[in-house]
Homo-oligomer: A and B are copies of this chain.
């Protein structure tokens, strides 16, 4: 983070990044040893075993509980919606926030099924939203800039959003405990900044990072690719070489307000060794920013699913989350909804996995012969 000037906000961000612990190799080994003694053929639970050893390394616990779960759903609008890159009008962002508050969206149903609290944040929705006890409202700016033509946000705005995300997680840890955090988002047009960020961090061209989002047609897809190409070109003209720049510059140029908040929340969760369950393309792009700021972050990341968006796999691979080391996507269900839907669907799998570690007998305990 050599590019960052040391004013107080930067200091807070740097402290956050530097507080993230690396893997606990003792816990990982203890978890592997226990898995090998449980009454099943060694390795026979496949990716579930890899998941459990990774969870142990991240949390520092052989049998983490994961009983206190939350879905952090952050909403914001995007100036780039003006380029006609989405199948839905921008009004839907605010309408869906009201739907979340009323309990009528997919994520309400799925978080309920997963036994997770919903933490709902307005990080910069353009329309007026009512005051509501269940809606945390940040007052940074309403809507990000149109990244095809201007930066998404200024550096002080990005910093404020990152630290606000971190503060929300800190509050949840302090007030309710938190053992598993799922990332979730809502923002019409936000697969466009996700694609731009993925191109920036992976060097893949827009033709590989731009997909159909919630369901755009061919002409809109071509327009969306051109918009992302224009955003990347604009960065180069501004002197921001996206491959070598300060990650904060990349976030400011190409990101979005919910993306910044989610990046900060991810960093804060990791400082507490809370596993972070990434959802789809947008939340993964937020984690690209966070991981560029803090290399230790990866230990604490888990990919819930591999979505329908073609760039999602590129972003997951860049994070080392498209592997068979227990971090790989648990689900591949062609989801393209967002809202944290895939993360909430995957949550019970993680909980079931921890029950294997907690509840099973060893060969010795059960008097079962080994192979």
Contact = CB atoms under 8 A, between A and B. Distances in A.
Interface in A34-48: 38-48
Given A43-B215, A48-B333, A351 B113 contact: yes
Given A105-B39, A105-B360, A333 B333 contact: no
A45 B335 contact: yes
Contacts of A48: 333, 335, 345
A133 interface: no
B359 A108 contact: yes
Interface in A104-119: 104-106, 108-110, 112-114
Contact of A87 (B41, B109, B112): B41
A295 interface: no
A358 B44 CA distance: 35
Contacts of A167: none
A75 to B, nearest CB: 13
Kindly report how many copies of this chain are found in the complex they form together: 2
Contacts of A369: 88-89, 91-92, 95
A43 B334 CA distance: 9
Interface string A58-75: 000000000000000000
B110 A352 contact: yes
B106 A214 contact: no
A341 B45 CA distance: 8
Nearest to A344: B352
Contact of A40 (B106, B355, B359, B368): B106
A324 B336 CA distance: 15
A197 to B, nearest CB: 21
A361 B102 contact: yes
A345 B355 contact: no
Given A46-B308, A333-B330, A334-B47, A349 B360 contact: no
A355 B110 contact: yes
Contacts of A113: 348, 351-352, 355
B358 A349 contact: no
A87 B370 CA distance: 9
A44 B359 contact: no
Interface in A77-101: 87-89, 91-92, 95-96, 98-99
A237 to B, nearest CB: 34
B352 A95 contact: no
Contacts of A371: 87-88, 214-215
A8 interface: no
Nearest to A104: B361
A228 interface: no
A366 B102 CA distance: 8
Q: Which of A333, A349, A359 is the most central at the interface, judged by chain B CB atoms within 10 Å of its CB? A: A333
Given A104-B361, A361-B102, A368-B95, A46 B352 contact: no
Nearest to A212: B41
B349 A345 contact: yes
Contacts of A109: 352, 355-356, 358-360
17 contacts: A39-B99, A39-B106, A41-B214, A43-B215, A46-B336, A47-B333, A87-B371, A88-B371, A91-B369, A95-B367, A103-B359, A105-B366, A109-B359, A214-B371, A324-B334, A330-B331, A345-B349
Interface of A: 38-48, 87-89, 91-92, 95-96, 98-99, 102-106, 108-110, 112-114, 214-215, 308, 324, 330-337, 339, 341, 344-345, 348-349, 351-352, 355-356, 358-361, 365-371
